[in-house]
Amino acid sequence: MSTPSATPAHEPRGSGRVGVGVIGAGNISTQYLTNLVRFPDLDVRVVADLSVERARAQAEAFGVPRWGAVQDVLDDPEVELVVNLTIPAAHVEVATAAVAAGKDVWTEKPFALDRESGTSLLEAAARADRRVATAPDTFLGAGLQTARRLVEAGAVGVPLSAAGTMQYSGPDAWHPDPAFLFARGAGPLFDVGPYYLTAFVQLLGPVARVSAVASSARPQRVVGSGPKAGQVFDVEVPSHVAALYEFEGGASATATFSFDSAIQRFQLELSGLTGALQLPDPNMFEGDITVTGMDGDLRTEPATGPTDGRGLGVVDLARAVRAGAPERASGEQAYHVLDVMVSTIEAAQRRMPVDVESSVVVAPALPLGWDPAARTL
Protein backbone atom coordinates (compact mmCIF):
# COMPACT_ATOMS: atom_id res chain seq x y z
CA MET A 1 0.00 0.00 0.00
CA SER A 2 1.19 3.52 -0.68
CA THR A 3 0.31 7.06 0.27
CA PRO A 4 0.91 10.21 -1.76
CA SER A 5 3.73 11.83 0.13
CA ALA A 6 4.70 15.36 0.94
CA THR A 7 8.40 15.90 1.57
CA PRO A 8 9.42 12.96 3.81
CA ALA A 9 12.06 14.93 5.69
CA HIS A 10 12.47 18.62 6.42
CA GLU A 11 15.37 20.79 7.47
CA PRO A 12 14.86 23.03 10.51
CA ARG A 13 13.48 26.35 9.32
CA GLY A 14 13.48 29.77 10.96
CA SER A 15 13.68 30.80 14.57
CA GLY A 16 11.52 32.48 17.16
CA ARG A 17 7.75 32.64 17.22
CA VAL A 18 5.91 31.46 14.11
CA GLY A 19 3.84 34.07 12.30
CA VAL A 20 0.27 32.88 11.70
CA GLY A 21 -2.46 34.05 9.36
CA VAL A 22 -6.02 32.78 9.73
CA ILE A 23 -8.17 32.39 6.61
CA GLY A 24 -11.85 31.96 7.39
CA ALA A 25 -13.62 33.99 10.08
CA GLY A 26 -16.70 31.81 10.55
CA ASN A 27 -17.98 30.12 13.70
CA ILE A 28 -15.05 27.72 14.12
CA SER A 29 -12.56 30.60 14.05
CA THR A 30 -13.67 31.70 17.52
CA GLN A 31 -12.58 28.36 19.02
CA TYR A 32 -9.24 28.55 17.22
CA LEU A 33 -8.46 32.20 17.89
CA THR A 34 -9.28 31.86 21.58
CA ASN A 35 -6.28 29.52 21.84
CA LEU A 36 -3.96 30.66 19.05
CA VAL A 37 -3.57 34.18 20.41
CA ARG A 38 -2.50 32.90 23.83
CA PHE A 39 -0.03 30.21 22.75
CA PRO A 40 3.38 31.92 23.10
CA ASP A 41 5.08 30.02 20.26
CA LEU A 42 2.56 31.53 17.81
CA ASP A 43 2.21 35.12 16.63
CA VAL A 44 -1.21 35.62 15.00
CA ARG A 45 -0.68 38.50 12.58
CA VAL A 46 -3.80 38.67 10.38
CA VAL A 47 -7.34 37.33 9.92
CA ALA A 48 -8.85 37.08 6.43
CA ASP A 49 -12.25 36.21 5.03
CA LEU A 50 -14.34 36.68 1.90
CA SER A 51 -16.17 39.20 4.08
CA VAL A 52 -13.52 41.69 5.16
CA GLU A 53 -15.91 43.08 7.76
CA ARG A 54 -16.27 39.65 9.33
CA ALA A 55 -12.49 39.32 9.35
CA ARG A 56 -12.20 42.73 10.97
CA ALA A 57 -14.71 41.80 13.70
CA GLN A 58 -12.77 38.64 14.61
CA ALA A 59 -9.40 40.40 14.48
CA GLU A 60 -10.61 43.16 16.78
CA ALA A 61 -12.27 40.68 19.14
CA PHE A 62 -9.01 38.77 19.63
CA GLY A 63 -6.47 41.58 19.42
CA VAL A 64 -5.05 40.52 16.04
CA PRO A 65 -3.34 43.56 14.48
CA ARG A 66 -4.47 43.16 10.86
CA TRP A 67 -7.36 41.85 8.78
CA GLY A 68 -8.21 41.65 5.12
CA ALA A 69 -8.85 39.38 2.14
CA VAL A 70 -7.33 35.97 1.44
CA GLN A 71 -4.63 37.41 -0.80
CA ASP A 72 -3.53 39.71 2.00
CA VAL A 73 -2.54 36.65 4.03
CA LEU A 74 -0.82 34.95 1.11
CA ASP A 75 1.20 38.08 0.32
CA ASP A 76 2.20 38.80 3.93
CA PRO A 77 5.92 38.04 4.50
CA GLU A 78 5.35 37.83 8.27
CA VAL A 79 2.94 34.90 7.85
CA GLU A 80 4.77 31.58 7.82
CA LEU A 81 1.82 29.34 8.70
CA VAL A 82 -1.74 29.62 7.36
CA VAL A 83 -4.64 28.28 9.42
CA ASN A 84 -7.25 27.36 6.81
CA LEU A 85 -10.75 27.50 8.32
CA THR A 86 -12.72 27.83 5.09
CA ILE A 87 -15.67 25.64 4.08
CA PRO A 88 -14.82 22.03 3.05
CA ALA A 89 -15.24 22.74 -0.67
CA ALA A 90 -12.52 25.42 -0.47
CA HIS A 91 -9.98 23.55 1.67
CA VAL A 92 -7.78 22.28 -1.15
CA GLU A 93 -7.91 25.49 -3.21
CA VAL A 94 -6.87 27.67 -0.27
CA ALA A 95 -4.24 25.23 1.02
CA THR A 96 -2.72 24.84 -2.44
CA ALA A 97 -2.51 28.61 -2.85
CA ALA A 98 -0.88 28.90 0.57
CA VAL A 99 1.88 26.35 -0.11
CA ALA A 100 2.47 28.00 -3.51
CA ALA A 101 2.99 31.24 -1.60
CA GLY A 102 5.64 29.55 0.57
CA LYS A 103 3.47 28.98 3.63
CA ASP A 104 3.00 25.89 5.76
CA VAL A 105 -0.67 25.07 6.28
CA TRP A 106 -2.94 23.84 9.01
CA THR A 107 -6.29 23.01 7.39
CA GLU A 108 -9.60 22.06 8.91
CA LYS A 109 -11.05 18.68 8.07
CA PRO A 110 -11.83 17.09 5.74
CA PHE A 111 -8.41 17.23 4.10
CA ALA A 112 -10.10 17.12 0.67
CA LEU A 113 -13.35 15.87 -0.84
CA ASP A 114 -11.81 13.22 -3.09
CA ARG A 115 -8.57 11.31 -3.55
CA GLU A 116 -7.51 13.24 -6.65
CA SER A 117 -7.56 16.66 -5.02
CA GLY A 118 -5.97 15.27 -1.85
CA THR A 119 -3.15 13.78 -3.91
CA SER A 120 -2.73 17.05 -5.79
CA LEU A 121 -2.40 18.98 -2.53
CA LEU A 122 0.25 16.64 -1.10
CA GLU A 123 2.20 16.81 -4.34
CA ALA A 124 2.02 20.61 -4.35
CA ALA A 125 3.30 20.68 -0.76
CA ALA A 126 6.16 18.36 -1.69
CA ARG A 127 7.19 20.55 -4.62
CA ALA A 128 7.15 23.64 -2.41
CA ASP A 129 8.85 21.86 0.53
CA ARG A 130 5.97 22.90 2.76
CA ARG A 131 3.64 21.02 5.09
CA VAL A 132 -0.13 20.55 5.12
CA ALA A 133 -1.06 19.33 8.58
CA THR A 134 -4.76 18.74 9.08
CA ALA A 135 -7.48 18.56 11.71
CA PRO A 136 -8.64 16.89 13.78
CA ASP A 137 -6.11 17.56 16.51
CA THR A 138 -8.41 16.21 19.22
CA PHE A 139 -6.22 13.09 19.31
CA LEU A 140 -3.45 15.30 20.74
CA GLY A 141 -5.64 16.03 23.77
CA ALA A 142 -5.35 14.36 27.15
CA GLY A 143 -8.06 11.76 26.53
CA LEU A 144 -6.71 9.98 23.45
CA GLN A 145 -3.06 10.54 24.35
CA THR A 146 -3.68 8.78 27.66
CA ALA A 147 -5.41 5.98 25.76
CA ARG A 148 -2.39 5.59 23.48
CA ARG A 149 -0.05 5.37 26.45
CA LEU A 150 -2.28 2.72 28.04
CA VAL A 151 -2.35 0.64 24.86
CA GLU A 152 1.40 0.98 24.37
CA ALA A 153 1.96 -0.05 28.01
CA GLY A 154 -0.06 -3.24 27.48
CA ALA A 155 -3.07 -2.30 29.61
CA VAL A 156 -5.40 -4.40 27.42
CA GLY A 157 -2.88 -6.76 25.87
CA VAL A 158 -2.81 -7.09 22.09
CA PRO A 159 -5.52 -4.79 20.63
CA LEU A 160 -8.14 -6.87 18.81
CA SER A 161 -11.13 -4.67 18.01
CA ALA A 162 -12.74 -1.29 18.48
CA ALA A 163 -16.19 0.25 18.16
CA GLY A 164 -17.30 3.81 17.57
CA THR A 165 -20.79 5.31 17.59
CA MET A 166 -21.80 8.86 16.70
CA GLN A 167 -25.54 9.14 16.39
CA TYR A 168 -28.19 11.76 17.05
CA SER A 169 -31.04 13.43 15.19
CA GLY A 170 -28.79 15.78 13.23
CA PRO A 171 -27.55 19.38 13.24
CA ASP A 172 -30.57 20.71 11.32
CA ALA A 173 -32.45 20.94 14.63
CA TRP A 174 -30.03 23.44 16.21
CA HIS A 175 -27.63 24.86 13.61
CA PRO A 176 -28.79 28.23 12.18
CA ASP A 177 -27.48 27.37 8.69
CA PRO A 178 -27.12 23.56 8.47
CA ALA A 179 -27.44 22.92 4.72
CA PHE A 180 -23.66 22.64 4.21
CA LEU A 181 -23.56 19.83 6.78
CA PHE A 182 -25.73 17.73 4.45
CA ALA A 183 -23.85 18.68 1.28
CA ARG A 184 -20.94 17.02 -0.52
CA GLY A 185 -17.95 16.96 1.80
CA ALA A 186 -20.06 16.69 4.94
CA GLY A 187 -22.77 14.40 6.26
CA PRO A 188 -22.03 12.40 9.41
CA LEU A 189 -19.15 10.48 7.78
CA PHE A 190 -17.14 13.41 6.40
CA ASP A 191 -18.11 15.89 9.14
CA VAL A 192 -17.67 13.75 12.28
CA GLY A 193 -16.06 10.60 10.91
CA PRO A 194 -12.54 12.11 10.84
CA TYR A 195 -12.50 12.27 14.65
CA TYR A 196 -13.36 8.58 15.07
CA LEU A 197 -11.30 7.31 12.14
CA THR A 198 -8.25 9.29 13.25
CA ALA A 199 -8.64 7.80 16.73
CA PHE A 200 -8.85 4.31 15.20
CA VAL A 201 -5.69 4.90 13.17
CA GLN A 202 -3.86 6.28 16.19
CA LEU A 203 -4.77 3.25 18.29
CA LEU A 204 -4.81 0.41 15.73
CA GLY A 205 -2.74 1.66 12.80
CA PRO A 206 -3.74 2.09 9.15
CA VAL A 207 -6.93 0.65 7.66
CA ALA A 208 -6.62 -2.05 4.98
CA ARG A 209 -10.23 -2.79 3.96
CA VAL A 210 -13.75 -1.50 4.54
CA SER A 211 -17.29 -2.85 4.17
CA ALA A 212 -20.26 -0.53 4.63
CA VAL A 213 -23.91 0.32 4.17
CA ALA A 214 -25.32 3.85 3.85
CA SER A 215 -28.74 5.48 3.63
CA SER A 216 -30.66 8.74 3.98
CA ALA A 217 -33.81 8.91 6.08
CA ARG A 218 -35.34 11.66 3.95
CA PRO A 219 -34.36 13.67 0.86
CA GLN A 220 -34.93 17.08 2.45
CA ARG A 221 -34.57 18.65 5.88
CA VAL A 222 -35.82 21.81 7.56
CA VAL A 223 -33.76 24.47 9.34
CA GLY A 224 -34.85 24.32 12.97
CA SER A 225 -33.50 27.56 14.45
CA GLY A 226 -32.20 31.03 13.68
CA PRO A 227 -33.20 33.47 10.93
CA LYS A 228 -33.54 30.68 8.35
CA ALA A 229 -35.87 28.57 10.52
CA GLY A 230 -38.45 26.78 8.42
CA GLN A 231 -36.42 26.81 5.21
CA VAL A 232 -36.19 23.48 3.38
CA PHE A 233 -32.91 22.20 1.92
CA ASP A 234 -31.79 19.10 0.04
CA VAL A 235 -29.83 16.22 1.59
CA GLU A 236 -27.00 15.44 -0.86
CA VAL A 237 -25.10 12.71 1.04
CA PRO A 238 -25.92 9.69 3.22
CA SER A 239 -27.16 10.69 6.65
CA HIS A 240 -26.50 7.23 8.13
CA VAL A 241 -23.38 5.13 7.56
CA ALA A 242 -22.43 1.84 9.22
CA ALA A 243 -19.02 0.33 8.48
CA LEU A 244 -16.63 -2.50 9.29
CA TYR A 245 -12.93 -1.61 9.12
CA GLU A 246 -10.11 -4.16 8.88
CA PHE A 247 -6.64 -2.92 9.85
CA GLU A 248 -3.25 -3.83 8.43
CA GLY A 249 -2.23 -5.24 11.81
CA GLY A 250 -5.18 -7.66 11.93
CA ALA A 251 -7.56 -5.80 14.27
CA SER A 252 -11.06 -4.71 13.25
CA ALA A 253 -13.49 -1.94 14.16
CA THR A 254 -17.16 -1.24 13.67
CA ALA A 255 -18.50 2.31 13.36
CA THR A 256 -21.86 4.04 13.03
CA PHE A 257 -22.13 7.64 11.89
CA SER A 258 -25.72 8.86 11.88
CA PHE A 259 -27.83 12.02 11.76
CA ASP A 260 -30.98 9.82 11.79
CA SER A 261 -31.28 8.66 15.40
CA ALA A 262 -33.49 10.00 18.18
CA ILE A 263 -31.07 8.37 20.64
CA GLN A 264 -27.82 10.25 21.21
CA ARG A 265 -24.63 8.22 21.50
CA PHE A 266 -21.02 9.41 21.28
CA GLN A 267 -19.00 6.34 22.21
CA LEU A 268 -15.59 4.87 21.55
CA GLU A 269 -14.15 1.66 22.97
CA LEU A 270 -11.24 -0.67 22.34
CA SER A 271 -10.90 -4.34 23.27
CA GLY A 272 -7.71 -6.34 23.64
CA LEU A 273 -6.61 -9.80 24.60
CA THR A 274 -6.60 -9.04 28.34
CA GLY A 275 -9.02 -6.13 28.78
CA ALA A 276 -10.87 -3.20 27.27
CA LEU A 277 -10.95 0.60 27.34
CA GLN A 278 -13.98 2.86 27.32
CA LEU A 279 -12.63 6.07 25.77
CA PRO A 280 -13.82 9.67 25.75
CA ASP A 281 -15.66 11.19 22.79
CA PRO A 282 -12.94 11.61 20.11
CA ASN A 283 -14.47 14.96 19.18
CA MET A 284 -13.27 16.21 22.58
CA PHE A 285 -9.81 16.86 23.99
CA GLU A 286 -10.32 15.37 27.44
CA GLY A 287 -12.21 12.73 29.41
CA ASP A 288 -11.14 9.94 31.73
CA ILE A 289 -10.85 6.32 30.60
CA THR A 290 -12.44 3.22 32.09
CA VAL A 291 -10.19 0.16 32.05
CA THR A 292 -12.01 -3.19 32.32
CA GLY A 293 -10.17 -6.42 33.05
CA MET A 294 -11.27 -9.83 31.75
CA ASP A 295 -12.54 -10.56 35.26
CA GLY A 296 -14.87 -7.56 35.04
CA ASP A 297 -12.81 -5.43 37.41
CA LEU A 298 -13.12 -1.71 36.61
CA ARG A 299 -10.80 1.17 37.27
CA THR A 300 -10.72 4.77 36.09
CA GLU A 301 -7.56 6.13 34.49
CA PRO A 302 -7.49 9.93 34.75
CA ALA A 303 -6.59 11.64 31.50
CA THR A 304 -3.32 13.55 31.62
CA GLY A 305 -2.09 16.00 29.03
CA PRO A 306 -3.26 19.13 27.23
CA THR A 307 -6.96 20.02 27.28
CA ASP A 308 -6.74 23.46 25.69
CA GLY A 309 -8.88 22.66 22.64
CA ARG A 310 -8.54 23.43 18.95
CA GLY A 311 -5.11 24.67 17.97
CA LEU A 312 -2.93 22.01 19.60
CA GLY A 313 -2.04 20.75 16.13
CA VAL A 314 -1.05 24.24 15.03
CA VAL A 315 1.43 24.48 17.90
CA ASP A 316 2.80 21.01 17.15
CA LEU A 317 3.20 21.98 13.49
CA ALA A 318 4.94 25.26 14.33
CA ARG A 319 7.41 23.54 16.65
CA ALA A 320 8.00 20.78 14.08
CA VAL A 321 8.83 23.36 11.40
CA ARG A 322 11.39 25.02 13.65
CA ALA A 323 12.93 21.67 14.66
CA GLY A 324 12.78 19.95 11.28
CA ALA A 325 10.75 17.18 12.96
CA PRO A 326 7.62 15.41 11.67
CA GLU A 327 4.31 16.95 12.65
CA ARG A 328 1.84 14.53 14.26
CA ALA A 329 -1.40 15.55 12.51
CA SER A 330 0.25 15.12 9.13
CA GLY A 331 -1.18 15.48 5.67
CA GLU A 332 -0.30 11.84 5.07
CA GLN A 333 -2.48 10.78 8.00
CA ALA A 334 -5.27 13.07 6.82
CA TYR A 335 -5.04 11.67 3.29
CA HIS A 336 -5.29 8.12 4.65
CA VAL A 337 -8.41 9.05 6.66
CA LEU A 338 -9.85 10.69 3.53
CA ASP A 339 -9.09 7.54 1.53
CA VAL A 340 -10.84 5.45 4.20
CA MET A 341 -13.93 7.68 4.07
CA VAL A 342 -14.11 7.61 0.26
CA SER A 343 -13.62 3.83 0.38
CA THR A 344 -16.48 3.61 2.90
CA ILE A 345 -18.88 5.33 0.49
CA GLU A 346 -17.63 3.18 -2.38
CA ALA A 347 -18.15 0.01 -0.33
CA ALA A 348 -21.72 1.05 0.45
CA GLN A 349 -22.45 1.87 -3.18
CA ARG A 350 -20.90 -1.34 -4.54
CA ARG A 351 -22.27 -3.52 -1.73
CA MET A 352 -18.90 -5.22 -1.45
CA PRO A 353 -15.62 -4.72 0.48
CA VAL A 354 -13.16 -2.14 -0.82
CA ASP A 355 -9.41 -2.28 -0.25
CA VAL A 356 -7.86 0.94 1.05
CA GLU A 357 -4.88 1.67 -1.17
CA SER A 358 -3.12 4.22 1.04
CA SER A 359 -1.26 3.66 4.29
CA VAL A 360 0.47 5.81 6.88
CA VAL A 361 3.16 5.56 9.53
CA VAL A 362 1.53 6.67 12.79
CA ALA A 363 3.47 9.44 14.52
CA PRO A 364 4.68 8.88 18.09
CA ALA A 365 2.58 9.98 21.02
CA LEU A 366 3.21 13.34 22.61
CA PRO A 367 5.79 13.23 25.39
CA LEU A 368 4.46 13.56 28.92
CA GLY A 369 4.55 17.19 29.93
CA TRP A 370 4.05 18.54 26.38
CA ASP A 371 2.49 21.96 26.93
CA PRO A 372 1.14 24.21 24.16
CA ALA A 373 1.14 27.14 26.58
CA ALA A 374 4.91 26.90 27.20
CA ARG A 375 7.29 29.16 25.33
CA THR A 376 9.76 26.95 23.48
CA LEU A 377 10.70 29.01 20.43
Q: Is the predicted pLDDT of residue 276 greater than 60, yes or no? A: yes
- The whole-angstrom separation of Cα 112 and Cα 208 is 20
pLDDT value at position 130? 97
Cα distances (Å, whole numbers) of residue 92 to 108, 298, 312, 343, 359:
10, 45, 21, 19, 20
**Does 138 score more than 80 pLDDT?**
yes
| φ, ψ at 92 (rounded to 5°) | -70, -40
* pLDDT one-digit tens code per residue, 35-50: 999 999 999 999 999 9
Closest to 1 in 3D by CA, of 205, 242, 253, 241: 205
Strand partners, 161: 252, 271
pLDDT computed for residue 8 by the predictor: 52
Structural domains in the chain, sorted by start: 18-137+310-328 (3.40.50.720), 139-301 (3.30.360.10)
Residue 71: other Cβ atoms inside 10 A: 11
Average pLDDT of the chain is 95
User: Could you tell me which of 346, 333, 291 has the C-alpha nearest to residue 155?
Assistant: 291
Look at residue 2 in the predicted model and tell me its pLDDT: 52
Tens digit of pLDDT for each residue in 52-96? 999 999 999 999 999 999 999 999 999 999 999 998 889 999 999
pLDDT at 7 over 50: no
pLDDT for 307-359, tens place per residue? Answer: 999 999 999 999 999 999 999 999 999 999 999 999 999 999 999 999 999 99
Structure confidence at residue 1 (pLDDT): 47
Instruction: Give me the mean pLDDT over the 182-190 stretch.
Output: 92
pLDDT digits (tens, 9 = 90+) for 226-272: 999 999 999 999 999 999 999 999 999 999 999 999 999 999 999 99
Q: Which of 105, 123, 128, 142 is nearest to 23 (CA)?
A: 105
Share of the chain above pLDDT 70, in %: 98
pLDDT of residue 6: 44
Residue 358 to residue 209: CA distance in whole angstroms: 10
